[in-house]
Amino acid sequence: MASATPRIRFRDQQIEMAHGAGGKASRRLIEGLFAPILFDSPSEPLGDAAHLSIDGARIAITADSFVVSPLSFPGGSIGELAVNGTVNDLAVSGARAEALVVTFVLEAGLSTQVLEAEVSAMGRAARAAGVTIAGGDTKVVEHGKADSMYITTAGVGRPIPGLQCSARSARPGDAILLSGPIGDHGITILLARGELDLEADLRSDTRPVLEMVEAVARVAGTAVRWMRDPTRGGVATALNEFARDAGLGVYLFEDRIPVRDEVRGACELLGLDPLHIANEGQFLAVVARAQADAALDALQQSPGGSGARKIGEVREQPACAVLASTPYGGTRIVDMLVGDPLPRIC
Amino acid sequence: MASATPRIRFRDQQIEMAHGAGGKASRRLIEGLFAPILFDSPSEPLGDAAHLSIDGARIAITADSFVVSPLSFPGGSIGELAVNGTVNDLAVSGARAEALVVTFVLEAGLSTQVLEAEVSAMGRAARAAGVTIAGGDTKVVEHGKADSMYITTAGVGRPIPGLQCSARSARPGDAILLSGPIGDHGITILLARGELDLEADLRSDTRPVLEMVEAVARVAGTAVRWMRDPTRGGVATALNEFARDAGLGVYLFEDRIPVRDEVRGACELLGLDPLHIANEGQFLAVVARAQADAALDALQQSPGGSGARKIGEVREQPACAVLASTPYGGTRIVDMLVGDPLPRIC
C-alpha cells in the first residue's frame, strides 16, 4: 500500500477553464481550497455523492451544475444531461435517486421556446429515470452575464441494498468493468460546436445508468469495490482517482476498451486520448475477481449494457497510477487529464 | 373560501429580469411553464422546500441559486447568503437543515482571493447555522459568460417536531408575526452598487432564522399555520401568496410594521414600497389567535428576535388579497411585486 497522499496546495492566482475540466487542476482546486475550508472530513471529497443519516434513515445527496455549450446536440441536451448526471452520480455512489430539486440561472433575452424545450427534456428524463422533481428556483441575470442558461440539479436517493463501495476495499486481482464505448459525449459536443471541419455520425451517450448499476449490485453485492461515472476527465481521470484512493495500481488492456471508430478518428486528428474524453452514460466498476464474470454477464444482459467489457485489473504496482498495454506490446502510463482541451462539455 | 385559483398561462416570448424577481412574473413562469411540466403535484410548487419520505424517514429538501451583485456588501456576501438562504428555506418549511451540497459556476479570470473569501464565508455561515457541507461541484465558464461567480446550495433537513404548516389550515383571526425590520437587505444591495447618490448606515440582515423558528415551534406547535422568509418580492409578495393559497384575506396594521428610517427614506426617494423589498434574515409566521401572544413572546426572547412584531391578522375578506391600514385611517390594497426594480439582490 502507498503512504499517505501529500496534501495539495492551491497556489493559482486566478481561476482558469482547466479548473472546471475535472482533471488535475480541478482536483487541486477542490483539495487545496474547497475541502480544507468546507468539508469536515476531507477523506473522500471527490466522491459522486455524500451518504448520511437523517432521522435514522440512510440517504445519499449530490448536486451538479450544468453549463454545456451548445445547449442541445445530437443525442441530448442540457436538460436531459442535468437529470441523468445527477441520477448517475447517485447511482455510482450506490444509491437510487428518489427526488431532484432543480435551479436555473437564465440569461435575460432567452427565448421561452428554448427554455420550454429544456424543461420538457428534464421532465422526460426524470420520468425515464423514475425520479420525481420536487421543487426548484429560478434566477435571471442580465443579457451577457450567462450563456443562455445554466442548470443545477440536486438529488437525494436511498442506498441500493447490498452495496458497500470504498476504493480502500479494492484488492489486487479485482476486475475493472466498463459499461460501454467511451468518448461519444465529449466528441459529440466538440463536433456540435462546428468549430472543426469534422463530421461524424455520433450521438451523446447521455442516459441513466441506474438499471445497469442495480444489475451489477444484484449479482455482485459487496464484491463491488468501487464505481464511478467517467464524465469530465474521462476514464483515465476516474481510474487515476481510484488508484490514488485505493493505494493500488490499475492495469488496462488497451485493446479491450471499446471506442467507436468516429471517436478514435476525431481523437487522432485532434491529438486527444479517448481515455480523457467525457462520457455521460457510462460507468466503471471495480469488482472482486471471483464475482467479476457474473457481474459482467449481468451488465451485458441489462438494457443498454451489451457493450460492457472487462477492460483491466487492479494490481499491486504501480501504486497510485494507471498503466495501459499498448498495441505494440509495451505499456504506457495513463495520467489524469491536464488542461482543458474540451471546455464546457457538461 | 375562494373558488379554485384560475390556471395561469405563460405567454411571454422571452425571459426578462422580472421573471427572476420573485413577484408576479416569477409566479407566472413557475405556474405557467415549470410546474405543469415538472411537478407531479403542482399544488404547492412555490413552497420553500419539499417534504418527502425516504426509507421511512421524513426529510425536507430545497435548492436555491445565488447571483447577487455585488458579491459582497455591508453585512454579508454571496457565500454567507448562499448558506443562510437555504437554511432559512428549510426552516420556514418546518425543517432543521442537516447537510448542504454546494455548486459553483465560476467565470474564468476570477481571482482566487475573491473565491477563497466566499468559500470561507460559506464555511463560517455553515458552522454558525449548525449545518454540514457534504459535497459539491465546480464548473468554469469563459470570461464574459458569468458575473464572477454563481453559487447554488441544496439542503436536506429533518422536520422540526410539532410543526404541521399549511396555508389551508389558516383561519380568520390568526395573527401575522414578523421577526424584525424589513427591507434592510434589498436597500443595502442597492446602495452597495453605488449607482445612486445615496448613503446610509445600513447592513444586510442575512442570518439563519432557524433558532427563531424553533422558538416559535416550541410554544405554538400546530398552531403555527404557515411560515415564509420574505426574500425576493418582500413581505407583500409572500403574504399575497399566503392569502391566495389560504383563500383568505390578510389585513396589515401598517404602522406596526418595523422599517428602519434609512430604508423608509431610500424607498421614498426611489418610489418603492418597503413591503416589496427583499429580506434575507426575517420570517413571517401565521399563528392561531389563542397562541399568538405566546409565540410573539418566544420570538422576541430568542436571539435576534427582539424586533419581532404582530403586524396584522387573517380575515375572511378580501379573499386572496392583502389590505393595509394607511396612516390616514384608510386602507390600501397591497399587491405582489410587479416588474423588477431591484435585480439580482440574492
Which of B78, B75, B105 has its CA nearest to residue B184? B75
Contact B136 A57 (CB under 8 A): no
Tens of pLDDT along A13-59?
999 999 999 999 999 999 999 999 998 665 454 567 899 998 888 99
* pLDDT score of A3: 41
The 10 Å CB-count burial string (b at 16+, else e) for B71-103 is bbbebbbbbbbbbbbbbbbbbbbbbbbbbbbbb
Instruction: Quickly count: other Cβ atoms within 10 Å of residue B188's Cβ.
Output: 26
Query: Which residue of A138, A143, A149 is the best one to mutate when testing the B interface, meaning the one whose CB has the most B CBs within 10 A?
Result: A138
Which of B68, B124, B78, B86 has its CA nearest to residue B229? B86
Contact B17 A140 (CB under 8 A): yes
B287-to-A123, A210, A250, B173 alpha-carbon distances in Å: 37, 45, 62, 9
Contact A83, A153 (CB under 8 A): yes
DSSP states of A242-253 as a string?
Answer: HHHHHTSEEEEE
The sign one gets for the Cα dihedral A58, B64, B79, B209 is: negative
Chain Cα centroid distance, residue B132? 22
Query: Cell 401572544 appears where?
Result: B293
Tens of pLDDT along A267-323?
999 999 999 999 999 999 999 999 999 999 999 999 999 999 999 999 999 999 999
Task: Tell me which chain A residues have a C-beta less than 8 angstroms from the C-beta of B14.
Answer: 109-112
Can you list the positions of beta strands (E) in chain B? Answer: 50-54, 57-66, 72-73, 76-77, 95-107, 132-141, 149-159, 175-178, 224-228, 249-253, 284-287, 309-315, 322-325, 331-334
* pLDDT score of B197: 82
Which CATH code, of 2.40.10.120, 3.90.1150.10, 3.40.190.10, 3.90.650.10, is assigned to A167-333? Answer: 3.90.650.10
* Residue B335 DSSP code: P
Domain borders along chain B are: 48-159, 167-333
Which residues of chain B from 147 to 206 reach within 8 Å of chain A, CB to CB? 147, 150, 152, 154, 156-158
Task: Tell me which chain B residues have a C-beta less than 8 angstroms from the C-beta of A80.
Answer: none
Chain Cα centroid distance, residue A308? 16
DSSP states of B106-151 as a string?
Answer: EETT-BHHHHHHHHHHHHHHHHHHT-EEEEEEEEEE-TTSSSSEEE
Per DSSP, what are the bridge partners of residue B50? B61
How much of chain B, in percent, has pLDDT values that exceed 90? Answer: 89
Q: Is the pLDDT of residue B45 over 90?
A: no
CATH of domain A48-159: 3.30.1330.10
Question: Which of A20, A64, A134 is closest, CB to CB, to B52?
Answer: A134
A65: buried, middle or exposed (CB in 10 Å: 19+, 13-18, 0-12)?
A: buried
Range B131-152 average pLDDT: 97
Give the cell for residue A79: 436538460
> Terminus-to-terminus CA distance in chain B, angstroms?
35
Tens of pLDDT along B80-125?
999 999 999 999 999 999 999 999 999 999 999 999 999 999 999 9
Which of B77, B307, B41 has its CA nearest to residue B192? B77
Contact A153, A82 (CB under 8 A): yes
Contact A55 B115 (CB under 8 A): no
Measure in Å the smallest separation between the Cα of A191 and chain B Cα atoms.
19
* Residue B239 DSSP code: H
Tens of pLDDT along B192-250?
998 888 888 999 999 999 999 999 999 999 999 999 999 999 999 999 999 999 999 99
Contact A54 B120 (CB under 8 A): no
A317: buried, middle or exposed (CB in 10 Å: 19+, 13-18, 0-12)?
A: exposed
Give the cell for residue A314: 487492479
Tens of pLDDT along A189-213?
999 998 888 888 999 999 999 999 9
Using the Cβ of A111 and the Cβ atoms of chain B, whether some distance falls under 8 Å is answered with yes
Which helix (H) or strand (E) element contains residue A177? Answer: strand A175-178
Fold match between B48-159 and B167-333? no
CA separation for the pair B109, B120 (Å, rounded): 19
Q: Residue A330: CB partners within 8 Å, gap ≥ 6? A: none
- ipTM of this predicted structure: 0.96
